[in-house]
Every structure is written in C-alpha cells, then in structure tokens.
Structure 1
Amino acid sequence: MGFRELSDDMDALVLDGLGDMATVGGREIAGFFSAPWLQPRMGRINTALREPQFEIRAIDADGIESGQLVSIDLSVQDGGGQYDLVQLEPDGTGWVTLILRMRA
C-alpha cells in the first residue's frame, strides 16, 4: 500500500473519531469546524483566525461552490447552525478550508 492510500485511511479514521458533521449543498460531509469566538474552556489560544471555518478533504470538495448553504451539526453553544459558504481555500495538502459567514 502506498503513502497516499495510508494517508487517506488515516484521514478517514481521524474524521470518524474526532470530526464534525455538516451538510454542504445538500450532502453530508465530515470535517473540522472552528469558530474564532469560541475560546477553549481552559487556557487561551491566540490565533489569526477571524471567520468560522470548516476544513474538509479535497476529495470531498468536488461540486462545492461559494454561495452554498452549510449547516454545521453542533449545538448552538459550540457554533452549530447555518452559514453561507464565502470561499474555498485549498491548502495544497489534500484539505480544503471552507470560509463561512453566519447566516442572517
């Protein structure tokens, strides 16, 4: 088994165990949600993060476009809710960051 296959298997395991679920353009996708206004319960992390983001595998980004509705399946306290997809930012490592804006 090659490196890419091993990496894909590892990504799937991490997403299955630690990932968040969202509905993007009508289909469910696993990824990692982060929101700047949610601080860790203990300690403090200062980052340049300004907008909510949902990171997904590049293979899952096919057919996703700016302007689509993104529903994050988390409690409201954890940032769940509906967002507009503003922009897709591939990072060159096989992951794509979806830049979100809270829906009014």
Structure 2
Amino acid sequence: MGFRDLLEDLDETVFDVLGDAALIEGREVSGMFSAPWLQPKLGRINTGLREPHLVIQVVDAQGVSERQKLVVDLPVQDGGGNYIIVRVEPGGDGLVTLVLRLSP
C-alpha cells in the first residue's frame, strides 16, 4: 500500500467519524461544513472563503455541478438547511470545496 492509499484511507476515516451529513440532489455524502457567520467572534479571522462551503472527498464529487441542490443535515443554528452549489473548487489534494448559497 502506497502513501497516497494511506492518505485516502485516513481521509475516509476522518470524514466518516467527524464529517457532517449532507445530501446533494438526494445523494448522501459526508463533508466538513463551514459558514462564516458561525466562526468565533474573538479577534479577526481572515479566510479566503466568505461564503458557506462544504469540503468533500473527490470520490463524492463525481457528477456534482453548479446549481445543484444541497441539504446540510445540521440544526439550523449550526448552519443546517437548504443550499445551492454556486462553485466547485477542486483542491488538488483529494478534496473538493463546494461553495454554497442559501436556497430561497
């Protein structure tokens, strides 16, 4: 087993244990959800993304495209709800960031 295989196994375990459940057009995926309004209010955090986003594994990104519906399965106070994918950003590291917009 090579280094890349070990990293893929590690990513899979991390996403299975710590990931947030989401549905993309009804298909279940696990990812790491983040929304800027949920960030700590201490100090100043400068991140490249100001929109809500979900980071998923490349294997789960197959067939994902802009304007698809995405539901984050978290309580509303934690950012859960209905979103639209506005941008798909491959990271080159086996992960893909889905930039989201709240669905009306």
The two structures have a TM-score, normalised by structure 1, of 0.92
Cα distance between partner residues in 2 of 1:45 and 1:38: 13
Does the alignment pair 1:66 with 2:70? no
Corresponding residue of 2:46: 47
Describe the shift of the 1:9–1:25 C-alpha distance in structure 2 as closer, same or farther (beyond 3 A): same
How far did 1:96 drift? 0.5
- Structure 1 residues 28, 14: CA separation in 2 closer, same or farther (over 3 Å shift)? same
SS at match of 1:59: helix
Whether the 8 Å CA contact 1:39–1:45 is kept in 2: the answer is no
Gaps of 5+ in 1: none
Identity %: 51
Pairwise CA distance, 1:39 = 2.2
C-alpha change, 1:71 and 1:6, in structure 2 (3 Å) is same
Q: Hey, what's the Cα distance between the residues in 1 that align with 2:31 and 2:58?
A: 11
CA-based RMSD: 1.3
Letter in 2 for 1:59: V
1:13-32 equivalences under 5 Å are 13-32=13-32
Runs of 4+ in 1 over 3 A off after TM superposition: none
Matched-pair contact (CA < 8 Å) for 1:87–1:98: yes
